[in-house]
Amino acid sequence: MMEPLIQVQNLSKYFKISKHEILKAVEDVSFDIYEGETVGLVGESGCGKSTTGRCLVKLYNPTQGKVLYNGKDIFGAKSKAEKLEYCNNTQMIFQNPYSSLNPRMTVKDIVGEGIKLHEQVNEKELDERIEDLLRAVGLNRDHMSRFSHEFSGGQRQRIGIARALSVNPKFIVCDEPISALDVSIQAQVLNMLKKLQKERGLTYLFIAHDLSVVKYISDRVIVMYLGMMMEQADADELYKNPMHPYTKALLSAIPEADPNIAKSKDRIKLKGEIPSPINPKDCCRFVERCAYAKPICSEQIPKFKMVDGKANHKVACHLY
Binding residues for ligand SF4, per CB under 6 A?
Answer: 244-245, 284, 286-287, 290, 292-294, 297, 302, 317-319
Of the pair 47, 181, the CB lying nearest ligand SF4 is at: 47
Pair 195, 23: CB distance under 8 Å: no
DSSP, collapsed to helix, strand or coil, labels residue 10 as: strand
Task: Give CA–CA dist 150/156, Å, rounded.
Answer: 9
**Which residue type does 258 have?**
D
Task: Give CA–CA dist 229/231, Å, rounded.
Answer: 6
Of the pair 164, 228, the CB lying nearest ligand SF4 is at: 228
Nearest approach, Cβ of residue 182 and ligand SF4 (Å):
35
Q: Among candidates 202, 198, 194, which has minimal Cα distance to 165?
A: 202
Of the pair 196, 316, the CB lying nearest ligand SF4 is at: 316
Nearest approach, Cβ of residue 293 and ligand SF4 (Å):
4
DSSP character for 48? S
Helix and strand totals (H; E) in the chain: 10, 12
Of the pair 235, 284, the CB lying nearest ligand SF4 is at: 284
DSSP, collapsed to helix, strand or coil, labels residue 31 as: strand
Nearest approach, Cβ of residue 287 and ligand SF4 (Å):
4
Q: Is 10 left (phi over 0), alpha (psi -120 to 50) or beta?
A: left
Nearest approach, Cβ of residue 6 and ligand SF4 (Å):
27
Tell me the CA end-to-end span of the chain in Å, nearest whole number. 28
DSSP, collapsed to helix, strand or coil, labels residue 226 as: coil
- Helix H or strand E encompassing 104: none
Nearest approach, Cβ of residue 246 and ligand SF4 (Å):
6
Nearest approach, Cβ of residue 234 and ligand SF4 (Å):
21
Of the pair 214, 315, the CB lying nearest ligand SF4 is at: 315
Nearest approach, Cβ of residue 248 and ligand SF4 (Å):
10
Of the pair 174, 270, the CB lying nearest ligand SF4 is at: 270
Task: Give CA–CA dist 221/59, Å, rounded.
Answer: 23
Of the pair 115, 297, the CB lying nearest ligand SF4 is at: 297
Q: Among candidates 244, 248, 182, 189, which has minimal Cα distance to 217?
A: 189
